[in-house]
Each structure stands twice: as C-alpha cells, then as structure tokens.
Amino acid sequence: MAVLTIRAHQRFALRSPSKLKSTGARAKPCLLIELSQDGARISNLADAQLEVGDEVTLTTTEGHCFAARIRWTRDECAGLRLTQPLHQGELTEIITAARSEEPAQAKVA
C-alpha cells in the first residue's frame, strides 16, 4: 500500500559532503542528501549524539552554511528544519554547486 505524503516544498536530491556542528560539540562529517527551501536530510551520522530540537549548523564543502533544528533522527540520518528558509535563487545556486561534476581541486587536466 502506497502512502501519499504532501510536502510544503519540493525536495532535491544531492550528494554534498558537509559538516554538522551542534552547540558545545565538535563539527562532525556528514552527507547532505536532500534539500528543500525549509529543510534538509543528512546521512552518515554514525556516532553523532543528536536529539530532536537540538540547534545545529550545517556547512557544505561549497561554503554554504545553514542554521537549523533537528526534526527527527533515525538510522544514521537526520531531518533538519532550516531556521531561515532559502529563497528560490539561493536554493538553485546551492543545488547547482552541489551537483557540479567535481570539486575544482579534484579535476584532472
């Protein structure tokens, strides 16, 4: 049986290495795998001690930084609600940067 979920904003699949920092803790590596105007889903959180409601900062390798709150955690993944929703232009810029072929320093001549 399929369940229909209605979302406030369209989600976009990404694969952007990032770092997640919670208050009073060191930044931990993670992977940004979905982004929308008001939220994100991250994975690869094996040893992160996160609780629903925690305030966090997510920073991508492309240099984008987001303040957010943890909405849910499950199986090394977490859902974030962005403190400040993204404008459509910002969202498009972030998606384009994250989906680029390779980071500039990794390109082979």
Domain locations along the chain: 12-100
Q: How far apart are CA 85 and CA 6, in angstroms?
A: 18
Question: Does the structure show a pLDDT above 80 at 23?
Answer: yes
> What is the architecture of the domain spanning 12-100?
Beta Barrel (2.40)
Task: Tell me the pTM.
Answer: 0.80
What own/partner pairs with CB < 8 Å and gap ≥ 24 does 84-88 have? Answer: 85/37, 85/38, 86/37, 86/38, 87/37, 88/37
Among 90, 97, 70, smallest CA distance to 82 is for 70
Residue 107, pLDDT score: 38
Tell me: the pLDDT tens digits for 67-103?
999 999 998 999 999 999 999 999 999 899 888 755 4
* Residue (of 100, 89, 96) closest to 37 by Cα position: 89
